[in-house]
């Protein structure tokens, strides 16, 4: 491709993306294709001769778009949001254009120093303690794995990195709420603790970990010769956005000499609102904290912010210094390659910088406040209808509810709600997902798309009620 063609399509693609984001409502929110349908349209052999961008772009529109689930649709209520924004897209474009690999300070000083600076901005925005420093990871899963690895090394004086886990007499244990995200268990497995040494602690009726049970489990393990190494507090669980009691957990971890990691992947963004910072009480006692600007803070996937109290411990866990990576400035600078798992790193701070500057703290606060308002509205609607039941407190902008006619068995209720979700999503007009809360099948209305407005929410509610009546009539 020559420069002129690059420019031609570059301008055209920006136009296309701008129109796409304006018109995204014309697509069904969730892709309607069947498994194998897209692959069936891709030639099994690679092209031997060059193809024109016109053909490639044509196929993008013809083939790929039908297999896209539109996360940027204003009627996206599934999982959690992964919202993007114009400034973030532009930042990604420049990052792709620069094509730099930011493993060390010397491989692009600006990438390292901008990352340091914007993470300090984020730290202030959330009200995290002044001593904490940050690094961008691809995902919260990776950040949590880093925390578990560091906790492991700290618990054993950095010997497991050398000797491995073989033949350890007192196995290390990890603690998290039964509502914790699956990435905790995955990290526990990868970090070598073993799933059997992860203790799930029961949550109360608000889906928050019960601290007295945490204390009990730790004491019991100690008595049986285990070594408690780490606890994970969730601020905004995935199923119901429950909030673990950070202050009590911090006190327990301090007393037992354990690492405390916070998973605030979704909920953390809400801390940019001062009125939502109650959940951070006890944060001084936390060793590491992760939240995802790629969820609720208008920054394209992927961008996960990982903060640690003492970076020396993280670096000591991760550091590798082969001769070919050594640089003259190593003693004076941050080499972010030593702050995580992979060596190569994208220039992700750029899009975050663009977002934070374009919106300002105020602009981001306004968006999140509006999502809170919409969730409050939806909550009122659910509570105002006899046939619906609220399933969890609304701590953020996630509303958990289900259809309940008051006269069906638990099995029938599950069947009705499965049917309701299928009916709703089959329209293609909205997309919701489900979970299970205390064994009850629950619908999740997760509000957090940049463009979701009250108009969209009212339409969704109308549709949900209509389908609920249909389900009830069919019984």
CB of 468 to ligand PLP, least distance (A): 27
Does residue 140 belong to the site contacting ligand PLP (CB under 6 A)? yes
Q: Quick one: DSSP state of residue 401?
A: E
Nearest distance in Å: CB 287, ligand PLP? 17
- Identify which of residues 227 and 304 has a Cβ nearer to ligand PLP in the complex: 304
* Candidate ranges 12-20, 133-141, 421-429, 448-456; the one touching ligand PLP (CB under 6 A): 133-141
The two structure tokens encoding residue 363: 């602009």
Interface of this chain with ligand PLP, residues 396 to 435, rule: CB under 6 A: none
231 vs 265, beta carbon nearer ligand PLP: 265
Q: How many residues bind ligand PLP (CB under 6 A)?
A: 15
Query: Minimum Å distance from CB 111 to ligand PLP?
Result: 21
Report the residue number, 266 or 339, with the smaller CB distance to ligand PLP: 266
Q: Which is nearer to ligand PLP, 88 or 304 (CB)?
A: 304
CB 16 within 8 A of CB 89: no
Q: How far apart (Å, rounded) are the C-alpha atoms in residues 43 and 150?
A: 45
List phi, psi (to 5°) of 251: -65, -45
Distance of CA 268 to the CA centre of its chain: 10
In the bound complex, what is the minimum distance in angstroms from residue 75's beta carbon to ligand PLP?
A: 20
Site for ligand PLP in 226-245 (CB under 6 A): 234, 236-238
H helix or E strand, kind and range, residue 122: helix 109-126
Tokens of 349: 């701070």
- The least CB distance from residue 304 to ligand PLP, in Å, is 5
- What is the DSSP secondary structure assignment for residue 321, as one 8-state letter? -
Q: In 10 A of CB 12, how many CB atoms? A: 13
Pick from 30, 70, 73, 181 the residue near ligand PLP by CB under 6 A. 181
Task: Name the helix (H) or strand (E) containing 136.
Answer: strand 133-137
**Shortest Cβ distance from residue 168 to ligand PLP (Å)?**
28
If the CB atoms of residues 161 and 433 are measured against ligand PLP, the closer one turns out to be 433
CB 119 within 8 A of CB 308: no
Indicate the residue among 227 and 239 with the shorter CB distance to ligand PLP. Answer: 239
Task: Pull the structure tokens for residue 280.
Answer: 């951070």
Instruction: Rule CB under 6 A: say whether 304 interacts with ligand PLP.
Output: yes
Nearest-CA neighbor of 336 among 99, 112, 109? 112
- Per CB under 6 A, contacts with ligand PLP among 191-230 are none
Distance from C-alpha of 175 to C-alpha of 229, rounded to nearest angstrom: 9
Question: Which one among 263, 287, 338, 389 touches ligand PLP, defined by CB under 6 A?
Answer: 263
Closest contact distance (angstroms) between CB of 169 and ligand PLP is: 32
- Nearer to ligand PLP among residue 160 and residue 265 (C-beta): 265
What per-residue string of b and e applies to 236-259 under the rule 16 or more CB within 10 Å gives b?
bbbbbbbbbbbbbbbbbbeebebb
Query: Could you give the count of Cα atoms lying within 13 Å of 105 in the half-sphere of its Cβ?
Result: 12
Residue 179 within binding range of ligand PLP, rule CB under 6 A? no
Q: Cα(25)–Cα(431) distance, rounded to whole angstroms?
A: 12
Spell 264-296 as b/e; 16+ CB within 10 A means b.
Answer: bbbbbbbbbbeebeebbebbebbbbbbbbbbbb
Among 266, 353, 372, 396, binds ligand PLP (CB under 6 A): 266
Tokens representing 230 are 């780490």
Nearest Cα neighbor of 175 from 59, 256, 111, 91 is: 256
Task: Compute the least distance from the CB of residue 226 to ligand PLP, in Å.
Answer: 25
Applying CB under 6 A, which part among 10-18, 134-142, 147-155, 321-329 lies near ligand PLP? 134-142
DSSP 3-state of 343? coil
Q: Read off the DSSP letter of residue 240.
A: T
**Footprint on residues 52-111 left by ligand PLP (CB under 6 A):** 80
Supply 45's token pair. 């052999």
Closest CB to ligand PLP among residues 258, 262: 262
Question: Interface residues for ligand PLP in 342-401 (CB under 6 A)?
Answer: none
Q: Which of 83, 141, 334, 335 binds ligand PLP (CB under 6 A)?
A: 141
Nearer to ligand PLP, 78 or 211 (CB): 78
Smallest CA-to-CA distance from 81 within 351, 431, 418 is with: 431
**Binder among 104, 197, 240, 292 for ligand PLP (CB under 6 A):** 292
Q: Which of 80/307 has CB closer to ligand PLP?
A: 80
**Angle, CA of 347, 8 and 95, to the nearest 5°:** 5
Q: How far is the CB of 193 from ligand PLP (least distance, A)?
A: 18
- The site for ligand PLP (CB under 6 A) is made up of 80, 139-141, 181, 183, 234, 236-238, 263, 265-266, 292, 304
């Amino acid at each position: 491709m020559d420069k002129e063609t690059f420019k031609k399509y570059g301008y055209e693609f920006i136009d296309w993306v701008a129109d796409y984001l304006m018109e995204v409502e014309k697509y069904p929110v969730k892709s309607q294709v069947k498994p194998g349908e897209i692959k069936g349209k891709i030639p099994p052999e690679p092209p031997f001769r060059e193809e024109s961008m016109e053909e490639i772009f044509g196929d993008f529109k013809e083939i790929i778009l039908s297999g896209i689930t539109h996360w940027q649709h204003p009627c996206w209520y599934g999982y959690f949001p992964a919202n993007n924004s114009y400034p973030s897209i532009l930042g990604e474009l420049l990052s792709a254009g620069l094509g730099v690999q930011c493993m060390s300070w010397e491989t692009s000083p600006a990438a390292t120093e901008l990352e340091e600076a914007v993470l300090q901005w984020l730290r202030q925005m959330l009200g995290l303690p002044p001593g904490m420093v940050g690094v961008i990871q691809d995902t919260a899963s990776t950040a949590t794995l880093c925390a578990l690895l560091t906790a492991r090394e700290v618990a054993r004086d950095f010997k497991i990195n050398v000797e491995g886990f073989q033949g350890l007499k007192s196995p290390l244990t990890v603690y998290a709420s039964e509502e914790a995200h699956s990435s905790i268990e995955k990290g526990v497995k990868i970090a070598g603790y073993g799933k059997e040494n992860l203790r799930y602690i029961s949550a109360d009726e608000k889906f928050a970990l019960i601290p007295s049970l945490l204390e009990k489990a730790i004491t019991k393990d100690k008595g049986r010769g285990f070594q408690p190494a780490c606890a994970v507090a969730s601020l905004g669980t995935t199923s119901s956005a429950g909030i673990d009691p950070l202050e009590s957990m911090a006190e327990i971890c301090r007393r037992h000499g354990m690492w405390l990691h916070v998973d605030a992947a979704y909920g953390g963004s809400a801390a940019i609102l001062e009125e939502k910072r109650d959940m951070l009480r006890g944060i001084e006692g936390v060793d590491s904290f992760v939240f995802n600007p790629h969820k609720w803070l208008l920054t394209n996937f992927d961008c996960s912010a990982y903060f640690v109290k003492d970076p020396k411990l993280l670096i000591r866990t991760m550091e590798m210094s082969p001769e070919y990576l050594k640089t003259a400035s190593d003693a004076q600078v941050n080499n972010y390659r030593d702050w995580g798992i992979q060596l190569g790193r994208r220039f992700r701070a750029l899009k975050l910088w663009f977002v934070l500057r374009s919106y300002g703290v105020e602009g981001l606060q306004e968006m999140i406040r509006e999502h809170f308002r919409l969730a409050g509205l939806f909550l009122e609607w659910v509570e105002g209808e006899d046939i619906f039941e609220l399933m969890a407190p609304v701590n953020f902008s996630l509303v958990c509810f289900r259809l309940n006619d008051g006269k069906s068995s638990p099995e029938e209720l599950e069947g009705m709600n499965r049917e309701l979700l299928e009916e709703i999503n089959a329209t293609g007009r909205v997309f919701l997902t489900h979970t299970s809360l205390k064994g009850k099948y629950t619908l999740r209305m997760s509000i957090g798309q940049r463009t979701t407005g009250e108009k969209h929410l009212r339409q969704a509610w109308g549709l949900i009620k209509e389908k609920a009546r249909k389900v009830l009539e069919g019984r």
